[in-house]
Amino acid sequence: MIDKILEYKKLIVKRGSIPNIIIWLLLCTSSIGLYKISPLFHLNENQILYLFSSASQVIAAIYGLIITGYIFLRNELDRKADKDDSLEEIISLLKTEYFGSIIGISLTTLLAISLCFLVIADETHTNRNLLGYLINLTAATILTELIIIVKFVITILNPNSIELASNELRDSTAKDKNNESGSLEDFLKHYNQIEYILDKYGSSFLYPNLTDYENVKRKRIAKSKLVHILFQEEKIDNDLKNKLIELISFRNGLIHGTNLYVSMRDVEMSEEILTKLKESLRVA
């Protein structure tokens, strides 16, 4: 299950980068094609030096602001995950998506500033046709970066970002996506029993002197961490560990998302995992 989540995170990064590359290629093709047919602007030496030196400074300043805002955003997401451990996987997916956007912005910024420097350095070159291509390529790259930045800002300001990430997490862990007609009540009943067992038996290894279960619950130990604790203590096997982590991820995506339907297979799987967990821990 962990490998599956990691693959899904890589897919998010790739999925976010492909549209940006397409946008850049389209803008480059359009800009250079328009330059070949009929240039819209004719820039003199002073205009070229001023425009592209200013553009590189503005791009660097915007990039610095984006990185600063991204740091604050990550801290806020971490605080949300600390307050509610059921958001752990969802926040992880969001951070992966945002980090992929930051990678795209960083690479585009580096390319745009480098091209600006090349335009300034090549301004005195005798081959004005080559300079024209370089100017149009640089302009297309700068426009691409601005588009990527606007997309990133809109994404992080989306008030439904957690719900959307929850739906993605749910879809990636659902057992049956075509016949979702199971009982949500039965599924949650099974999961709540599993959660109780994990809290009680898993926390006892971390806090052996605590006898009050309510005090243990207030420690807010992530369920996935409790599963790993039980596995390390050889209370459950590797197969049950993976199934528990998968079930936890599915349930978290379910309750924080907009689609509350479960399939019969999901309900059956929750019951099977509950039964196997009770057998492994010898719970009546």
Amino acid letter at 135? I
Look at residue 135 and tell me whether its pLDDT is greater than 90: no
Instruction: Give the pair of three-digit tokens for residue 220.
Output: 């807010």
The DSSP call for residue 85 is G
pTM of the model: 0.71
Q: How far apart are CA 116 and CA 89, in angstroms?
A: 41
Q: Alpha-carbon distance 103 to 57, whole Å? A: 20
pLDDT of residue 251: 83
**What is the rounded CA–CA span in Å between residue 22 and residue 263?**
38
- Average pLDDT rounded to a whole number, residues 241-247: 85
User: For the segment 1-45, what is each residue's pLDDT rounded down to a tens digit?
Assistant: 444 444 444 544 556 677 888 888 898 888 888 877 777 667 777
Give the pair of three-digit tokens for residue 65.
């602001």
- pLDDT surpasses 60 at 86: yes
Mutual orientation of helices 161-173 and 2-37 as an angle, nearest 10°? 120
Q: Residue 147 to residues 15, 49, 106, 181, 237: CA-CA distances in angstroms?
A: 16, 24, 13, 42, 49
